[in-house]
Amino acid sequence: MAVREIGTGRGDLTSPSTAPDAFARPAVSQSLCALLFALDLGLRFLGDVDSGPWPRVGAGLLVVVTLAAFVLPWDRLPAASPAALAVADLLVIGLFRLDAQGGGSAVLMVLPGLYLGRYFGRRGVVVTAVAAVLLVGVPNFLYFGLDGPNVSRMVLSVLVAVVAAMAMALAVSRLQHERRVSAAILDSVDVGLVLLDAEGAYQAYNRRHGDFMRLAYPEGHAGMAGQLGLVYDADGSTEVPTQDMPSTLASMGEEFDDLRIWVGDDPVSRRALSVSARAVRDASGDLAGAALAYTDVTELMRALTVKDEFISLVSHELRTPLTSIHGYAMLLLERHDLDPQVRSQLEVVVRNTERLQRLVEDLLHTGQIDDEAMYFRRVECDLVQIVRQAVQAAEPHARDRGVTLGLRTPQRLMLRVDPQRIAQVLDNLLSNAIKYTEPGGRVTVALGTDVNRVEIAVTDTGVGIDAADRDRLFTRFFRSQHAEEQSIQGVGLGLSIARSIVEGHGGRIDVDSEIGRGSTFRVRLPLS
Ligand code: ADP
């Protein structure tokens, strides 16, 4: 697997350059060295410098070393073997130096020094020092003797090579330390982290993500975004196709939050993940890759499933006995010999049974929304009729609360909708408007059209809704603090159901509100 894991010593997310280091390849670094040696020789030739026999031996050795850099199977040789090339280069320099007229080759000692320091750290520094002294310094002194300028030139050249090796070794060791620290931090977080390059190739991922990858790709992963595996949609069963994989979307520059997937197919070990992605851009703003974070939300998803199953089970179980209680209570109410007190008590039973029935319907309805099984029976119908009937039905409630109802509609407004569902939306909006309006207040329903849509507005002069609550109004079980504090009846399902019905008709529902002055809920439905 070509993918690297953060913190496993096989690469990390914090590497300044995730591209493979070309100079680590002996053939590349040796070619660079050989080129500079050749330049030295060429310049000597141009300068009409008659190099003695030793530089020629050095040139021959250089050819051999450079060829070796290309032909030897470095992958199969011990990791330290390329160091021999750098040592041989120092020997070449030593031989080049054995020439009365000299040349610029002493300065080239820096190259093997840098190479040894970069790839072999402290040991590379020692090798540079020993090899520079033995292969360049000592032969030079033996050849030229210990005369002043020669000693100074040699000692300084050797020192510069050693200092270059040390500086390189130090920089690399600092960098590695920082990488280890970052890797340790990234590995300690409980979130899977992945870095992709511009082509969608995995650059790195942390240990946590390694666990998720093993679940999703038990057969292994090729290191490219979009690979098919045991990756499922939020429903846990629909396989995610390549084009919808979070990694594919991210590699195309899409940014998103809380994209839910399941990985793995074993019911016990599979995990639900919430994925976020952010694009990584280079200095010129072009897409350079993407960073993805995978948070384990298995417990939350399981809890939600259990809750939904529970709600649906309980509501189904409650419906039958409630229907029977309601039916018998109604039958009793039809009797004419009832004591007035018994009648009024029975009416309380009926009212509360009806409330319970509505609640059960709402709960069942919520379950349906989750199953995406909400079914609309659309027929051409007159919206004015539906709105009128809803207002009529709300009148007793409004009267009880001392709230006045108003209605503004055209003569007729034909639209293809599911009349029962739209009536349900209106019932919810009206009952809320009345519930959250103080006695003496007013609730108005207005129906109208503009170019391509129908608008139903339910306006009240009630308590209003806090700006902070407005975004959450339409989420299930949300109730404002005011509703809770005032013990206003409700469970927080009405608006979420209304929204799913309106959206199911291709429409939108939103709210304008001011605390203490009232609210307007607007339902907009497309005309076509
Ligand atoms: P419920 O009314 O059963 O609590 P809903 O989903 O219908 O649930 O409404 C959610 C919340 O929105 C309510 O608890 C209430 O705080 C707020 N709300 C809804 N309609 C109005 C309104 N007309 N005026 C003020 N607050 C409202």
For 368-386, what is each residue's pLDDT tens digit?
A: 655 555 678 889 999 999 9
| Most confident by average pLDDT, 94-98, 182-186, 279-283 | 279-283
Which residue has the CA at smallest separation from atom 12 of ligand 1? 473
- pTM of the predicted model as reported, rounded to 2 decimal places: 0.50
Give Cα separations from 54 to 95, 102, 119, 239, 254 (angstroms): 5, 11, 30, 71, 63
Please choose from 363, 397, 434, 473 the residue to mutate so as to test ligand 1's pocket, defined by most ligand atoms within 8 A of CB. Answer: 473
Q: Is residue 278's pLDDT more than 70?
A: yes
**Which ranges in 287-382 belong to alpha helices (H)?**
298-333, 340-371
Which residue has the CA at smallest separation from atom 23 of ligand 1? 433
Distance (angstroms) between ligand 1 centre and the Cα of 257 equals 28
Provide the pLDDT for residue 459. 97
Provide the pLDDT for residue 305. 80
Do residues 333 and 312 touch, judged by C-beta distance below 8 A? no
Give the whole-angstrom CA distance, residue 262 versus residue 210.
15
- 71-89 tens-digit pLDDT: 999 889 998 899 999 999 9
Do residues 196 and 219 touch, judged by C-beta distance below 8 A? no
Atom in ligand 1 nearest the alpha carbon of residue 521: 23
| Most confident by average pLDDT, 49-53, 344-348, 437-441 | 437-441
Q: Is residue 436's pLDDT more than 50?
A: yes
Do residues 485 and 463 touch, judged by C-beta distance below 8 A? no
Provide the pLDDT for residue 463. 93
Instruction: Cite the beta strand spans of 149-286 per DSSP E.
Output: 191-197, 202-205, 231-232, 256-263, 271-281
In this structure, how many other beta carbons lie within 10 angstroms of the beta carbon of residue 505?
21
Distance (angstroms) between ligand 1 centre and the Cα of 387 equals 20
Please choose from 363, 426, 495 the residue to mutate so as to test ligand 1's pocket, defined by most ligand atoms within 8 A of CB. Answer: 495
Residues with CB under 6 A from ligand 1: 428, 432-433, 436, 460, 462-463, 465, 473, 478-480, 482-483, 490-496, 519
Please choose from 432, 442, 458, 479 the residue to mutate so as to test ligand 1's pocket, defined by most ligand atoms within 8 A of CB. Answer: 432
